[in-house]
Amino acid sequence: MMASKTEGHNDRQAIDAERRRRQRGRNWAVLLALVAFCAIVYGITLVRLTGH
């Protein structure tokens, strides 16, 4: 019986680790999108302010 509890615990840890890895990947993607959006807005603002 203890073996099944240990295996279940290891499975849970593996699932949690996979979930954290995927969440970290999504966080990086959102950060990249946000930085790109800010760069686009900044660039457009500079162009409009300089009159070109």
What ranges do the domains of the chain cover? 1-52
Alpha-carbon distance of 37 to 39, in angstroms, equals: 5
pLDDT digits (tens, 9 = 90+) for 16-45: 999 999 999 999 999 999 999 999 999 999
Answer yes or no: pTM beyond 0.75.
no
Q: Which residue has the tokens 């999504």?
A: 26
Lookup: tokens for 20: 């954290």
Alpha-carbon distance of 2 to 12, in angstroms, equals: 15
Would you tell me how many other CB atoms lie within 10 Å of the CB of residue 12? 10
Alpha-carbon distance of 12 to 6, in angstroms, equals: 10
